[in-house]
Structure 1
Amino acid sequence: MGTLQTWRKAYGAIKDSTKVGLAHVNSDYADMDVAIVKATNHVECPPKERHLRKILFATSAIRPRADVAYCIHALARRLAKTRNWTVALKTLIVIHRTLREGDPTFREELLNFQQRGRILQLSNFKDDSSPIAWDCSAWVRTYALFLEERLECFRVLKYDIEAERLPKPAQGEDKGYSRTRDLDSEELLEQLPALQQLLHRLVGCLPEGAALHNYVIQYALALVLKESFKIYCAINDGIINLVDKFFEMPRHEAIKALEIYKRAGQQAGSLSSFYEVCKGLELARNFQFPILREPPQSFLTTMEEYIREAPRVVTVPSEPLVSTNLIM
């Protein structure tokens, strides 16, 4: 097995070197192609910052939109062709880092590409070269699902939850709050389920088996963990807003709101378990975890009683106008 692993690493290094050489010769985007290959090579370590910086610059606002589209195409090609979990994971990390730190045009172009080409659809990806690779492949698929859901959440919210800057705390408050605190009922009922689905994908990102102790996977998991804080804050503030508006909702809206409230309670427990595992890992040594507050279950009875008595909105179908010809 050791000899096989050594051979695979040597073969991966040769492939990377060959791709870099071809990029220098054949591409109109040579610098970008080289940076992508080097950032996503077969070496089992996180992408190097100098290569990431070149990719961030190549997709910045001062660059033509065509450059951004080409970068996404090149990353998609890298993902589609590889059967190596390290290359796939590092490509996803590059995408994630660029989403978090890059220009919004990257996110917009990626969303457009995703709707056409499903760049993050890795449900069939597997590297079965070793038991460790098998465990790591499973996490690569889970990570891709999270990033896919992240884009879907942006499509619904029309803003990136991680890029949101929380306003300064008002007098007497210990923290700022998310924009979900100020949404109307219709917006809440649309945005909170999208945020809850994103959190569902996030808490599913716990590595299993040998993957749990892999340094590159822990590096990517740290990125996911960081995003949980604002997602939780947005959901929590949205639930507060939802409760404030609940007793003014018609019955059909109140039923949806009750399901969101129930799911918020369930997810508080799931997120708590996720944090407990993360706290035991090296990646979370300097993280400050939020205090999770589960919505009071006793309030559910009151909500259910209101739904039984809530006003129903009756819509009367409009009849088509029938034109008649009068004979005089």
Structure 2
Amino acid sequence: MSGSQSSLRRYLGAIKDTTTVSLAKVNSGYKELDIAIVKATNHVERPSKERYIRAIFMAISATRPRADVAYCIHALARRLSKTHNWAVALKTLIVIHRALREVDQTFHEEVINYSRSRSHMLNMSHFKDDSSPNAWVYSTWVRFYALFLEERLECFRVLKYDVEIDPPRTKELDTPDLLEQLPALQELLFRVLDCQPEGAAVQNHIIQLALSMVVTESTKIYQALTDGIDNLVDKFFEMQRNDALKALDMYRRAVKQAERLSEFYEVCKSVYVGRGDSFVKIEQPPTSFLQAMEEYVKEAPLAAGAKKEQVLPECFFLAAPKEILAIEYEKPPEVIEEKPVSPEPPVKAEAEAEKPVEKQPDLLSMDDPAPGVSELDEKNALALAIVPVTGKATLNIA
């Protein structure tokens, strides 16, 4: 039964593709482009033919009018938003991914501008193909792949260059740019790791094709991150506390990502995804260095104008507050027994009573001997006495 349903789906998909092509021939002002898009992203569950992809790339090159490029992006976005078929969605994403890699970078900017002016064209969070158990698994991978492409564009927006195409620049960045660009690269690497296939998706040929491009790019992303982390470490012990906290978090992420990236590559190798020379050796950042970084953060200087109480909540996890200060509200017996009694309270009251009413008071208290000051000092000292209790400083409130 499932085999007949699968055959019926393929038959219906072929009819849809034929109908769309026929309509494009009659109604479209971009007839050749529309036909190429339909044939490059059809329902056939195998990789697209190269000649149709090349026809699309010709339409979005820098030499073509911007109106043509905008129309092509709109047509691809419409194809993504309307389909419920995993093959059509995945092949459309592959066309977009290849265009980002193989067409000039004006295409990046056009896609970003399109997403800003309209809904995000790569938002596939609600996409699903529930026509079969395998289609459901493929749909999950399609969603992760779309997230990777969306993050890829965001990384391009932050870095102002494409990591896959241009040499990494993180080695020479100053601290502010480094703290801005490294998180973008780390988020992109997280999206790479999410593309690890599972179940039926591992053996699917179209998914393997897309995954091979992701694997190739992951080595460039990893190289840019490694250069950036080395640069970060060189600058770390000169950073102010807020910057040092951010840098420490990035270093911890780098340690975790190195472990996961090694596992990701092992899975890819097991299904023969990627060329043998495309995998890089993953070097784990030394975890022993974390202790030195954490110690520095505790004593790192504050930024000019920063308030200490604003920074403490961020680095509170680095301290052990219960061993530093304990506040107890019970009076220890020995403190009560040693409480001194003021020797001359009556003298103070009597002196104040005998003071002439008509005398002009000294507003600055220059002539007032203030006989009660010592008494107040003693009471305050008892009320806020800090007494060592079992290795802790104890605050006693009388």
- Do both share a fold (TM > 0.5)? yes
Q: How far does residue 314 in structure 1 lie from its aligned partner after superposition?
A: 3.2
Q: What is the alpha-carbon distance in structure 1 between the residues aligned to residue 306 and residue 43 of structure 2? A: 64
1:175 maps to none
Q: Distance between the aligned counterparts of 1:316 and 1:303, measured in 2?
A: 21
Give distance in 1, aligned partners of 2:93 and 2:286: 38
Check whether the contact 1:136–1:210 (CA below 8 A) recurs between aligned residues. yes
1:76 positional shift: 0.5
Distance 1:287 1:135 in 2: 29
Unmatched tracts of structure 2, length 5 or more: 308-398
Q: 2:272 aligned with 1:282, yes or no?
A: yes
AA matched with 2:179: L
The alignment partner of 2:303 has SS state of coil
**Matches of 1:37 and 1:200 in 2, distance apart?**
32
Q: 2:353: which partner in 1?
A: none
Asked whether the 8 Å contact 1:85–1:133 carries over to 2, the reply is yes
> What's 1:147 paired with?
149
Q: How does 1:51-90 map to 2 (within 5 A)?
A: 51-90=52-91
Change (3 A) 1:240 1:15: same
Structure 2 residue 114 is matched with structure 1 residue 124: no
Distance 1:316 1:251 in 2: 10
State the TM-score, normalizing by the size of structure 1.
0.91
Q: Secondary structure at the match of 1:122?
A: coil
CA distance in 2, matches of 1:269, 1:114: 34
Q: Is 1:309 matched up with 2:299?
A: yes
Deviations 1:87-140 (A, max 9, x none): 000000000000110121211110111223210111111100000100000101
Alpha-carbon distance, 1:286 to partner: 3.8
Distance in 2, matches of 1:309 and 1:286, equals 47
Please give the alpha-carbon distance, in whole angstroms, between the structure 2 residues aligned to 1:222 and 1:2: 30
Runs of 4+ in 1 over 6 A off after TM superposition: none
CA distance in 2, matches of 1:155, 1:184: 18
**Aligned match of 2:220 in 222, 230, 237?**
230
Read off the aligned partner of 1:186 and give its amino acid letter.
P
Where in structure 2 are the equivalents of 1:190-209 lying within 5 Å?
Answer: 190-209=180-199
TM-score normalised to structure 2 length: 0.75
Kindly tell me: are residues 316 and 183 of structure 1, through their superposed partners in 2, closer, same or farther at Cα, counting changes over 3 Å? closer
1:72-221 paired onto structure 2 within 5 Å: 72-115=73-116, 116-164=118-166, 166=167, 178-221=168-211
Q: Is the 8 A contact 1:188 1:238 kept in 2?
A: yes
Which letter maps to 2:69? V
How far apart, in 1, do the equivalents of 2:62 and 2:265 lie? 36
Following superposition, the deviation at residue 269 of structure 1 comes to 0.3
User: In the alignment, residue 84 of structure 1 is paired with which amino acid?
Assistant: N
CA RMSD of aligned residues (A): 1.2
Deviation at 1:288, TM superposition (A): 3.0
Structure 2: distance between partners of 1:71 and 1:198 = 26
> What is residue 242 of structure 2 aligned with on the other side?
252
Report which of the two structures shows the higher radius of gyration computed on alpha carbons.
2
CA distance in 2, matches of 1:287, 1:125: 35
- Decide whether the 8 Å contact of 2:258 with 2:282 is kept in 1: yes
Measured after TM superposition, the shift of residue 306 of structure 1 is 1.0
What SS does structure 1 have at the residue aligned with 2:140? helix
**Other structure's SS at 1:283 match:** coil
Letter in 2 for 1:36: I
TM-superposed CA distance for 1:206, in Å, is 1.0
For residues 216-236 of structure 1, give each alpha carbon's deviation from its aligned partner in whole angstroms, at most 9, with x where no partner exists. 111111111111010000000
Unaligned runs of 5+ in 1: 167-177, 318-328
Distance in 1, matches of 2:101 and 2:275, equals: 21
Deviation larger for 279-288 or 298-307: 279-288
CA distance in 1, matches of 2:165, 2:66: 21
Question: What is the CA-CA distance between 1:285 and the residue it aligns to?
Answer: 4.5
Mapped to 1, the partners of 2:267 and 2:115 lie a distance apart of 32
Q: Which AA in structure 2 matches 1:130?
A: S
**C-alpha contact (below 8 Å) 1:68/1:105 kept by paired residues:** no
User: Which letter maps to 1:40?
Assistant: T
* 1:8-52 deviation digits (Å, cap 9, x = unpaired): 101111110111111111111111111100000011111211011
SS in structure 1 of the partner of residue 273 of structure 2: helix
SS in 1 for 2:195: coil
User: Could you tell me which amino acid in structure 1 is paired with residue 5 of structure 2?
Assistant: L
In structure 2, the partner of 1:173 is none
Query: Aligned residue pairs: how many?
Result: 305
Percentage of pairs with the same residue:
62
| 1:49 matched to 2:54 | no
